[in-house]
Amino acid sequence: MPRGTWGPQFVEGDEDFDNSPEKERDRESASRWKTKSPASLGGTIDGSLTEVRDMADMFKLAQSLIYRETWTQIVESIRNFNIGEQLSGMLDTFEDKIADLRGDNGEYVQYHALGEGGARTFFTIAAAWKKVVRFGSDLLGIKQAGSPVNKLKRKHQDFNENFEYSINKSDNFKNLPTDSKNKLITDIAESKDGILGEVLAKNDGDLIDAWKKMEDLRADEALRRNPGALDALSKPKRSRPDPSEYLEPGYLSAHRAKFDDGAVRFTTQSNIDKYKTLGGNEAFTMPKSEFDDLIAETGGDLAQIEQRLGLNPGDLTGDDAVIAWIQKKDMGEVKMPSGNEDGVIDEFWIPGGKTSGGVSEGIVDLSNPDILFDPYPF
Amino acid sequence: MSEKKEYILDNGWIVSKQPAEAPILHVTPLPNSIFRVRDDLELPNDIYRDIAEGERSIKELFKKHKLHNLIIKWGEPRKVLPKDNSPAKFYGRGFIVTQEDNKYFLDYQLARQGGGSRKFEISKEIYEEARTGKYATSDLFKKYNLYHLDIPENDVK
């Protein structure tokens, strides 16, 4: 019985072998049925491309010779014409069939049944087509349209590539407890447009650590799945981006609306007397409405309040502590914390305007001594 | 003939009711709590009814009846006292700069809740610029890149 394998075109040890993760993904996914370009295409084109070895290089070469606008039209035409979708569907069917025929060692024990020449030709054309459409779309930033089934397939393929070939091989992921691994996989699978998987796959592991910190500090699911928020958390204080760069305008306005009943600031009478203000120009406050809930939930216990506010034990237990309630009309703009504010406790800070204890927090300028406030000395 | 009723809540506070009188909540100071002032409050009947029927959890009474809003008495709205600048001391927006002998210091309130503060030495140039009154704390940090000094180890208090 004929036996054979359809592996990569070149193997480890070859002069051309490139063991970068990107190339490895290429080999493992689409390059199994790699086409070879004609030798005549090898060469130098304006120093931008030195050798054409596969379809990706052919595409790059073609792109270098044609204006971007033209390529956009070509890719759009291909997509609209739907040949790619049909071929992809046929390819998937054949791949399923191959999988049925494949033995555990990766050899095609009934390889002859498909007809070597015909199958190879079909797979070569189909895989090349699929790669051209997808590679072109990715390069031009065009998301492929298609039926819901195809979108789901694409999502599955993206997840598989990102997870199996990058994230799953990262030490940062391997070191997570099993429960956390499962939760992260769920977050990757359910993040909008699969963006979390894409970003984590390209990152060296810092963002997985940031994700873990968010999980430990009970950040909301939406924030755990927000790569921008993970990036902000992974950066050191003073270099974190403005929250408007990674939070939706609707999220920001909803956060501001929480302060419609005013803001509450914990401070001390001695600080008020010393500095002649309630705080600095970037002072953390909480919504008055949530202050009421906080007292109800903690019974007024300061240790519990400190924990809910993401403070160190003992931060609120001074003898001259004061709770100041600033009415909305007196407090000016409420900003989303960026994590760059002085005195932020890195150990506890998370993006998104909530403390690690789940209480909303906002930044208010309290440096004006003319701000009216209602004090509650306790 | 009915007698005086008395109930003890789970945080130690006592609720009492004399015949033909309104029920009273006797608030006593609790350690490590925001409730540090002794007070006697007249309780609304619906709250008292729950207590008489067996509710003893202060958190449940807070959640269900917002009882804490009766206990927490906010003071009259007020402003902070006027600033009193001197040649060796200037009040900025959220900070103070001082001259102590031949040294200059920036003393500022931390952003976080709780009223923490920090103080570290600065140059004469920063001191004099801060005295112009144009700056808030974060402005000074930005203008003179003082961020690396914003750590507990530099606190000279």
pLDDT, tens digit, 9 for 90 and up, residues A105-120: 454 444 444 455 555 5
Q: Which of A16, A10, A14, A54 is nearest to A36 (CA)?
A: A54
The answer to whether the beta carbons of residues B36 and A321 sit under 8 Å apart is: no
In b/e form, how buried is each residue of A68-105, taking b as 16+ CB within 10 angstroms? eeebeebbeebbeeeebbebbbebeeeeeebeeeeeee
pLDDT at residue number A99:
58
Choose among B137, B10, B27: nearest CA to B71: B27
Q: What is the pLDDT of residue A378?
A: 66
Residues of chain A with pLDDT > 90: what percent?
Answer: 41
Average pLDDT, chain B: 92
CB A325 within 8 A of CB A288: yes
Q: Please report which confidence band the pLDDT of residue A77 belongs to, taking 50, 70 and 90 as the band edges.
A: low
Interface confidence (ipTM) of the complex? 0.88
User: Chain B residues with CB inside 8 Å of A372's CB?
Assistant: 77-79
Residue B155, pLDDT score: 87
> What dihedral angle (degrees, nearest 10) is formed by the CA atoms of A49, A204, A354, A322?
-120
Residue B152, chain A, CB below 8 Å: the answer is no
Q: How confident is the model at residue A65 (pLDDT cuts 50, 70, 90)?
A: low
**Distance (Å, rounded) from C-alpha A245 to C-alpha A115?**
55
CA B147 to chain centre: 27
Alpha carbons A305 and A358: distance in angstroms, whole number: 11
Any CB–CB contact under 8 A between B31 and chain A?
no
- Please count the residue pairs, one from chain A and one from chain B, whose beta carbons lie less than 8 angstroms apart: 185
Scanning chain A, the segments in alpha helix (DSSP H) are 21-28, 55-65, 68-81, 83-101, 116-140, 148-165, 171-174, 178-190, 195-202, 206-216, 221-224, 227-234, 249-257, 269-275, 288-298, 302-309, 328-331
Res. A46: pLDDT tops 50: no
End-to-end CA distance of chain A: 88
Higher local confidence (pLDDT), A159 or A223? A223
C-alpha to C-alpha distance for A235 and B135, rounded to whole angstroms: 27
Q: Which two tokens stand for residue B77?
A: 């709205």
CA end-to-end span of chain B? 65
- Predicted structure pTM score: 0.69
Round to whole Å and give the CA distance between B16 and B4.
Answer: 7
Pairing of strands B117-122, B103-109: antiparallel
Q: Which residues of B touch A281 (CB under 8 A)?
A: 93-94, 136-139
Nearest to A344 among B96, B111, B137 (CB): B111
Asked if B96's CB is within 8 angstroms of A378's CB, the reply is: no
pLDDT (0 to 100) of residue A90:
60
According to the model, what pLDDT value does residue A251 have?
95
How many Cβ atoms from other residues are within 10 Å of residue A155's Cβ?
14
Task: Name the residue with higher pLDDT: B104 or A319.
Answer: B104
* Tokens matching residue B1: 């003939």
Q: Which of A254, A209, A216, A235 minimizes the C-alpha distance to A352?
A: A254
Structure tokens at A372: 């009216």
What residues in A contact B110, CB-CB < 8 Å?
Answer: 280, 342-343
Cβ–Cβ of B115/A282 closer than 8 Å? no
Residue from B109, B143, B145 to probe the interface with A (highest A Cβ count within 10 Å): B109
Assess whether pLDDT exceeds 90 at residue A372.
Answer: yes
For the cut 50, the answer to whether the pLDDT of residue A43 exceeds it is no
Instruction: Name the more confident of A110 and A54.
Output: A54
Q: What six digits make up the tokens of A234?
A: 């992974």
| pLDDT tier, A11 (very low <50, low <70, confident <90, very high otherwise) | very low
pLDDT at residue A205 in the model: 86
